[in-house]
Chains A and B, each alone.
Chain A
């Protein structure tokens, strides 16, 4: 298997294959865990582990530099990040008065193209992996955030809304003996 030339690779994976693969993953988790909450938690954890690496891929592909405030970070997250990895651009809305919290509104979510939630799994946050990815990726750029689903089209809402809250700024580790 040659890995030559992959960094600039713009080959696309079929969106359907991607959605179905993700579906298989969630279905397996649902079989492995008893409660929907546990599945949600696992998805978030997996997303986090993806996010901490995905961010490097993001910087390798884009010429994006450091963001100077949270609003700019939100902008880049949606217009560059979501566009690059999911092919959709969510709308940034509902900023809190302090400017430390915003919502991502997804009119279209490629993960849920073929999904219906069964009656028995109404507590399942099917796309919860996205929350984990955002949390992991932003942590690597020194932003500690909390990310959660506010509403989900799968659970009968009009649109999918993910809330992102800024918690604190992380600093680089200080070498021993420095102040």
Chain B
């Protein structure tokens, strides 16, 4: 599997972390703008999905497939949003995103007393652990 990039948002619309592994083409807009558009799209998709849903549920969005990439989405009950883009051959990666949240994000960001909630994640340890995990996956 090829993982293109990963966005982590909190519930206040801010992008806490962004990392790309394989990305050949830029979106042609400033990164900040891209984050805003991404969050906006997720937000709108979620609200449309819950409107169309046959039962009343808050969860619904797990991702979408475009012709040349696949977007995966995972949200925690506390409102952290994990968005990952991969190639289209990749199956369900909810467990991968959950792992990133539970074993890497919580461990190295939430439990880090220096990291203040809602601020951009600068921890090198977090970046290194995340990278290790993703590199490991890419070889499978």
Contacts and interface: CB of A to CB of B under 8 A. Distances in A.
A175 B117 contact: no
B79 A142 contact: yes
A154 interface: no
B123 to A, nearest CB: 12
Bin chain B's interface residue count. 20 to 34
A52 to B, nearest CB: 6
Main secondary structure of the interface of B (DSSP, over half): helix
Contacts of A174: 43
B1 to A, nearest CB: 23
B111 interface: yes
B48 to A, nearest CB: 12
Contacts of A12: none
Given A175-B36, A175-B43, A178-B44, A140 B78 contact: yes
Contact of B77 (A53, A59, A177): A59
Contacts of A60: 101-103, 106-107
Main secondary structure of the interface of A (DSSP, over half): loop
Contacts of A67: 77
A175 B77 contact: no
B78 A7 contact: no
B78 A141 contact: yes
Interface in A62-87: 64-67
A1 to B, nearest CB: 12
Interface string A93-127: 00000000000000000000000000000000000
Given A60-B101, A66-B58, A178-B40, A141 B77 contact: yes
B51 interface: no
B13 interface: yes
11 contacts: A3-B108, A7-B103, A53-B117, A56-B105, A60-B102, A65-B77, A67-B77, A172-B79, A175-B13, A175-B40, A177-B40
